[in-house]
Chain A
Amino acid sequence: EPEVTQTPSHQVTQMGQEVILRCVPISNHLYFYWYRQILGQKVEFLVSFYNNEISEKSEIFDDQFSVERPDGSNFTLKIRSTKLEDSAMYFCASQSGTAKNIQYFGAGTRLSVL
């Protein structure tokens, strides 16, 4: 069964450094998403992406965050200057069509900011 792949599984970085989290969505999917889960808290929506642009973003997704699909297969989340509070599990999801379709989630990347 096709799956969403996220790399790395665990990323450790120093505060203030830039990180890029990578996702390979399911190949024929058109809609892409990032979610975040701080330890012990709810999974929260960050951003949705369609047709090479952001469709919607939450209040969490500030100027430190950016997303892109650089090569037609990868979907990346960049955090420009990491803060301690960015430590969380980041989940990528993809979906083939509009809202009626299922979002498939990757296994997540655990980001630890020291």
Chain B
Amino acid sequence: KQEVTQIPAALSVPEGENLVLNCSFTDSAIYNLQWFRQDPGKGLTSLLLIQSSQREQTSGRLNASLDKSSGRSTLYIAASQPGDSATYLCAVKGGDDKIIFGKGTRLHILP
């Protein structure tokens, strides 16, 4: 049974710093991995999706990597801003077509 773990559960960093969020998953037989952003009480905003054949994806200040064999992904945020404060969710999709989510990392950027 696929399990997705995100570490740390919460993170506070000063504005302007670069940071890395971690995600691990137990079953490497995935089709893709997706990073979402969720603001308090709001929906899911897809940030980056990495197909199983890819190693990384970039969008602006965000870079996500995937190491399928070791069951790990990282989300790198460069030059963090207060507007980046949110919960970041990692989610993997397997052959059974379900998406399994991690609990998220709650990020707080200090002005």
Contacts and interface: CB of A to CB of B under 8 A. Distances in A.
Contacts, number: 56
B31 A100 contact: yes
A25 interface: no
B9 to A, nearest CB: 11
Contacts of A33: 99
Interface string B99-111: 1111110000000
Interface stretch (A16-24, A68-76, A101-109): A101-109
Contacts of B98: 45, 48, 56
A56 B96 contact: yes
Interface string B21-54: 0000000000110101000011110100101000
Contacts of B34: 102
A8 B101 CA distance: 24
Interface string B58-85: 0000000000000000000000000000
A91 B44 contact: yes
Given A99-B93, A100-B31, A102-B32, A45 B99 contact: yes
Nearest to B98: A45
Q: How large is the interface on A (under 10, 10 to 19, 20 to 34, 35 or more residues)?
A: 20 to 34
A91 B43 contact: yes
A43 B98 CA distance: 12
B60 to A, nearest CB: 17
Interface of B: 31-32, 34, 36, 41-44, 46, 49, 51, 89, 91, 93-104
7 closest A-B pairs (Cβ-Cβ)?
Answer: A107-B43, A43-B101, A108-B43, A45-B98, A99-B97, A105-B44, A99-B31
